[in-house]
């Protein structure tokens, strides 16, 4: 059914263009139109391919004026459909630079970006990471800016979807998309072993133990696993130990009864790193229990089993 419906659309671009201009300042119908366009890219990839650049040009021109989340979604769909085409590699790199330049300044500004826009931006970043990583990773300054924005969103946003999208993006970057980003290992390692890695460890631990919504705890635990598991080896053990030791230090965790003294802090640090090396399920379970202790939903006894 969907193929029959979509097969009529490439022959009626003038009609859809008129709808676009009629609705251009109305978010809901425009986002629905962009959603339809995204489905076109995915389901009728070959038929729409000749028009993809002109269609995305119209979408990005609109985004420059209105910053609707639907524009980001259609760019993400285009990356999924056409991102692996060598002829479009340069185009997608240019497209991502535009999206980053338009969106990043809005993220920290009060009232600058809706939660839906923030979520759509990091969902789009994730799709680019999967399907056209060459557009997003090689520019180290841009990559660091995106990751800093994602870290700030993951650790402070009160919107669950925005925080989840940012955390998923960081998790996939740290985990190198389960091997898909292996060609970009040097760039990712350079970012994470810079001061950003320590900031990421600290802020993700703080979010998990202080401010995150309970529904986000599994995402944060998964992200911390990807970060520590992938970077606590190959001569970086001491560096990772310092990150975790500092993230778990301070009066906040002690005040919440997680540990009582320096020996307890050291034992928690050793457990954190040990489980990250050998067992993802137990590592995540330990962090979930740590979050519950900090939220007064459990006592420190919940951690005893992990220390054995």
Which residue is it, tokens 């859809």? 16
Q: Which of 141, 54, 63, 65 is nearest to 91 (CA)?
A: 54
- Residue 44, φ and ψ in degrees, nearest 5: -125, 50
CB 130 within 8 A of CB 172: yes
pLDDT for res 21: 56
Quote the percentage of the chain above a pLDDT of 90: 54
- Quickly list DSSP for 62-82: HHHHH--HHHHHHHHHHHHHH
Closest C-alpha among 242, 217, 214, 218 to residue 228: 242
Distance CA 139, CA 17 (A): 34
Provide the 3-class DSSP secondary structure of residue 159: coil
pLDDT digits 0-9 by tens, 243-297: 999 999 977 788 888 898 899 999 999 999 999 999 999 999 999 999 999 999 9
**For residues 161 and 115, is the Cβ–Cβ distance under 8 A?**
yes
Residue segments in the chain with a per-residue pLDDT below the cut of 70? 1-29, 108-112, 234
């Amino acid at each position: 059914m969907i193929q029959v419906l979509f097969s009529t659309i490439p022959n009626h671009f003038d009609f859809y263009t008129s709808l676009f201009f009629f609705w251009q300042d109305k978010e809901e119908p425009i986002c629905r139109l962009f959603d339809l366009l995204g489905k076109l890219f995915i389901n009728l990839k070959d038929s729409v391919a000749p028009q993809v650049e002109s269609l995305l040009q119209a979408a990005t021109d609109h985004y420059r004026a209105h910053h609707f989340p639907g524009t980001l979604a259609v760019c993400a769909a285009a990356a999924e459909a056409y991102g692996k085409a060598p002829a479009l590699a340069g185009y997608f790199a240019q497209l991502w630079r535009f999206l980053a330049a338009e969106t990043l300044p809005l993220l920290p500004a009060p009232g600058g970006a809706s939660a839906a826009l923030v979520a759509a931006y990091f969902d789009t970043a994730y799709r680019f990471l999967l399907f056209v990583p060459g557009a997003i990773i090689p520019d180290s300054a841009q990559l660091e800016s995106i990751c800093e924005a994602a870290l700030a969103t993951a650790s402070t946003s009160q919107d669950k979807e925005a925080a989840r999208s940012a955390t998923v993006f960081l998790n996939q970057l740290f985990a190198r998309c389960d091997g898909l980003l292996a060609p970009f290992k040097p760039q990712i390692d350079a970012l994470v072993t810079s001061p950003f890695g320590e900031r990421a460890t600290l802020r993700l631990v703080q979010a998990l133990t202080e401010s995150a919504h309970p529904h986000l705890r599994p995402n944060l635990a998964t992200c911390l696993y990807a970060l520590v598991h992938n970077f606590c080896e190959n001569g970086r053990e001491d560096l990772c130990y310092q990150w975790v030791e500092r993230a778990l230090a301070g009066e906040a965790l002690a005040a919440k009864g997680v540990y009582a003294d320096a020996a307890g802090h050291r034992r928690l640090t050793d457990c954190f790193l040990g489980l990250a090396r050998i067992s993802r399920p137990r590592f995540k379970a330990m962090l979930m229990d740590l979050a519950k202790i900090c939220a007064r939903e459990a006592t420190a006894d919940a951690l005893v089993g992990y220390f054995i």
